Chain A
Amino acid sequence: MEALWVVLPTGQRASGEWIDDTLRRRAQEAGLLARTPLAGKFPRHRVEVVRAADGVEEVNALFEARGWTDGLPITPPTLPRVEAMCATTVRAPSDVLGEVEPLRGEATVEKIAANAVMAGCRPEYFPVVLAAVEAVLDPAFNMRGVQTTDENVAPLLIVSGPLAARLGINAGFGALGPGWRANAAIGRAVRLVMLNLGGGWPGAVSLAGLGQPGRYTLCLAEREDGPWPALHVELGYRPEQSTVTVLRAETAINVTGGLAEVASVMASAASAFTMLYEGRVAVVVAPFVARRLADEGWSKDDVRRSLHAEARVPVAAWQSWWLRATARQWPGWVTEASGTLPVLREPGDITVVVSGADLAIPQLAYFPSWGFPPCRITREIAAPIDLIG
């Protein structure tokens, strides 16, 4: 018989209410209680002692039935693991980063840590998770919108700076997954925070009709050896700093080819929400492509300008799209609806990063965006305490 002392990862508001009580009602109304039969059934404390022959299995069974997982197994957030996580930051475990919409559970450092443990994070990843949670709690991320929309949007985390390599956040083969624990666990930690502290339960609160794989995890790093300035340097940080940048992303579209091919994908119904909401999109460029462009004299700005100019939708196509029928207006930056419409307001709405394996194959990926207001949020990552010195 083992005893696992676990920190409960679920949201509690500042007033003391547990979000699970609301979630149980929502799940019941949606006919989804069968997925989470133990919703709301847990001891209302900070710590629970789970006794079983196989503690890990029992915690998994309980947490899954309570609605606290994404469907994959989790690592039980035991006291020693949560404490090890919290030890990597100067912030106190009781520090509150904010409330997670829509159910406004408090994002305390400790609860974030519990979710980070569950996600499979190593302690040294925690400062990245904290910076990412800070970013998604920025009002510009529109957490409420992301959590409750019927659209299939996920937070895209891009890590830039020397900490990426030190922490093993992959920018090479399979940068968008799978294979590297840091990428998988950091992205997943943010998603579990949204689930367990904000209450983004599928079907009960989150009405994303199809979902997308990025809603499990979506985190990559930019390569430090690209020909262009790194993302964090472009954004005004010093080279030795490290940052995480968050965008609201619809599913990645893999493109094999060059900028023209990316522009053609951009200029499609895939970008409908981007056009509707003045979105900020991301383009991931493989090192092979970046080098060739740089050799021809292209900077990141040149890439952006080119894509902005080339990604244009014919007016007739725009008018035929379902979204256009429901929205009553042209995109906000369109002054004259004739000929073709740019997908984006300005070149600066495109985030360009170099990532992926160094293969002699022209690979890129385009992430359309969803939602309002325009969002590209960056936060500095503090070095984990044990790594310093």
Chain B
Amino acid sequence: MLRASAAAEEAGVPSVSLTCEGFIGQAATTATGLGLPSLPVAIVPGHVDVQTVDELRANVFGVTVEGVVQGLTAAPEKASELVEPEPGEVVFEGTPDEINRFFYENGWSDGLPIVPPTAARVEAFLRHTDRDADEELGVLLPDRRSATVRTVAINGVMAGCRPEYMPVLVALIEAMADPRYGVEHSGNTPGAETLIIVNGPIIRRLGFNYQQGALRDGFQANTSIGRFWRLYLRNVAGFLPHKTDKGTFGNTWRVVLAENEDALTRMDWTTIAQDQGRAPGESAVTISRFTGGTVLASVFGTRPEQMIPYLADGIARLVAWEVIFTVGMSVGAQRPLLVLSPILAQTLARAGLSKQDVQRQLFEHARIPASRFERYMSGWTNLLPGRPTLHALVARGRAAPVFAESDDPERLVPVVEKAEDIMIAVSGDPLRTNAYVFAHNGILGYTTTKPVRLPAR
């Protein structure tokens, strides 16, 4: 991995990075983002996942070894500086049609028409924040570009946002830049996509939809802010298809999910933001990266014991290979999201259950046989090489003890480390008995929350 190689170089130790052939361009770009454009690589021809042992051996001995020797012994060329436009510089003058075409042909647009980011439109956005336009919210990998308040405004204009959305946009980019989120993974092969959850008075203030069609387009706040997120990933983080973005299929931007806080208040349930540590009544955004999701239709029943097993089954089924974020690759970083329509949440609450009670019950029921768990992480996949068993991972400290309570391969094990890892949001048509489950990409887009700060009035 290139960050590790960069760390070695910075400590004065020469390195060479083993790189599959299809990854070379991305590696060069990532290396530049790490400040080391001349980082040597040794190529492994093809892709290792589809080679037999003999093919791999022939490739490693035939090509990779020489690359390793060269990388460690041959002086790489000195890198020169990169000349680009200045941020916020006027880069084109033309009609709206021409501007759209220019932005698209130069890779700054997602293929839909953008709102031309003129200085006047950008100024309108900047009036909705106290922050200085040149303030840097962070530096984003892979390109290591500076994420300034001004670039937030420019991309917000392009996305079709309204100027008053600016505080939300700023908070989102603070979250994107938080190292805990891990934006550098946003071009990974599974191609997961972020879901933004918004909480607090800002929901009503900006007109977010939180009722029927909560995950659908049709409302400017939810839709344009979702689009802004991906434009910013493209233009400032630097994720471009066929280059730094290697998502096999990918997803496109999700509309922002706003919780139904009226319902939550009535049920005396906490919001997502509160679960993440924010104070009640505070506006906040939470970002988390999900590979996909599905609807649990017709959640039938009047009592929790009739509903929980179905909901839990949805969670267990969707986590699948992402159990490697619960054990192995990381421990306890799997945060699946269950979205309940208000009527489902109310049914559970009426039975006397708090949100935390529901989490505990889901934790008990969202279980799969240990043998299946092990197949997901290293039988059907090669995500944890060496085919470790859950017992071995527990022994190594790479899994919580709950995963090795007996030797029975058919013992039921949870798919998350602890009950609180199961996130529950309330939104959607208040009277329809549907739920939605999202599968979480763990540490490769970890759940991160930031407060939304309005300008002083």
The complex places the Cα of A34 from the Cα of B287 at a distance, in Å, of 55
Q: List, in ascending order, chain B residues with CB within 8 A of A49's CB.
A: 92, 94, 98, 102
The complex places the Cα of A43 from the Cα of B108 at a distance, in Å, of 15
Q: List, in ascending order, chain A residues with CB within 8 A of B84's CB.
A: 16, 44
Q: Which of A1-49 contact B (CB under 8 A)?
A: 3, 5, 13-18, 21-22, 40, 43-47, 49
Q: Report if A96 contacts B (CB, 8 A).
A: yes
Partner of B106, one of A14, A16, A45, A92: A45
The complex places the Cα of A16 from the Cα of B35 at a distance, in Å, of 12
The complex places the Cα of A293 from the Cα of B192 at a distance, in Å, of 68
Whether the pair B105, A44 counts as a contact (CB closer than 8 A) is no
Q: Report if B79 contacts A (CB, 8 A).
A: yes
Partner of B32, one of A5, A16, A44: A16
Q: Report if B412 contacts A (CB, 8 A).
A: no
Q: Report if A94 contacts B (CB, 8 A).
A: yes
Q: List, in ascending order, chain A residues with CB within 8 A of B243's CB.
A: 94
- A interface residue count range (under 10 / 10 to 19 / 20 to 34 / 35 or more): 20 to 34
Q: Report if A165 contacts B (CB, 8 A).
A: no
Whether the pair A21, B25 counts as a contact (CB closer than 8 A) is no
Q: Which of B79-137 contact A (CB under 8 A)?
A: 79-85, 91-92, 94, 98, 101-102, 105-107
Partner of B29, one of A5, A14, A45, A96: A14
Q: List, in ascending order, chain B residues with CB within 8 A of A14's CB.
A: 24-25, 28-29
Partner of B242, one of A15, A45, A92: A92
Whether the pair B29, A15 counts as a contact (CB closer than 8 A) is yes
Q: Report if B37 contacts A (CB, 8 A).
A: yes
Whether the pair A44, B24 counts as a contact (CB closer than 8 A) is no
Q: Report if A79 contacts B (CB, 8 A).
A: yes
Whether the pair A44, B83 counts as a contact (CB closer than 8 A) is yes
Partner of B37, one of A3, A15, A43: A15
Q: A16-B82, A49-B98, A49-B102 are in contact. Are A43 and B91 (CB under 8 A)?
A: yes
The complex places the Cα of A47 from the Cα of B107 at a distance, in Å, of 10
Q: In the assembled complex, how far is the CB of residue B231 from the closest CB belonging to chain A, in whole angstroms?
A: 17
Q: A3-B98, A46-B106 are in contact. Are A15 and B82 (CB under 8 A)?
A: yes
Q: In the assembled complex, how far is the CB of residue A180 from the closest CB belonging to chain B, in whole angstroms?
A: 34
The complex places the Cα of A94 from the Cα of B107 at a distance, in Å, of 12
Q: Report if B31 contacts A (CB, 8 A).
A: yes
The complex places the Cα of A17 from the Cα of B82 at a distance, in Å, of 5
Whether the pair A44, B31 counts as a contact (CB closer than 8 A) is no
Whether the pair A94, B105 counts as a contact (CB closer than 8 A) is no
The complex places the Cα of A17 from the Cα of B77 at a distance, in Å, of 13
The complex places the Cα of A79 from the Cα of B101 at a distance, in Å, of 11
Whether the pair A15, B106 counts as a contact (CB closer than 8 A) is no
Whether the pair A15, B91 counts as a contact (CB closer than 8 A) is no
The complex places the Cα of A10 from the Cα of B243 at a distance, in Å, of 18
Partner of A17, one of B37, B85, B102: B37
Sample (9) of A-B pairs whose CB atoms are under 8 Å apart = A3-B98, A14-B24, A14-B29, A16-B29, A40-B83, A44-B83, A44-B85, A92-B242, A106-B25
B residues in contact (CB < 8 Å) with A = 24-25, 28-29, 31-32, 37, 79-85, 91-92, 94, 98, 101-102, 105-107, 242-243
A21-B80, A49-B102 given. 18 additional CB < 8 A pairs?
A3-B98, A14-B24, A14-B28, A15-B28, A15-B32, A16-B32, A16-B82, A17-B80, A17-B82, A18-B82, A18-B83, A21-B83, A22-B80, A43-B85, A46-B106, A46-B107, A96-B25, A106-B25
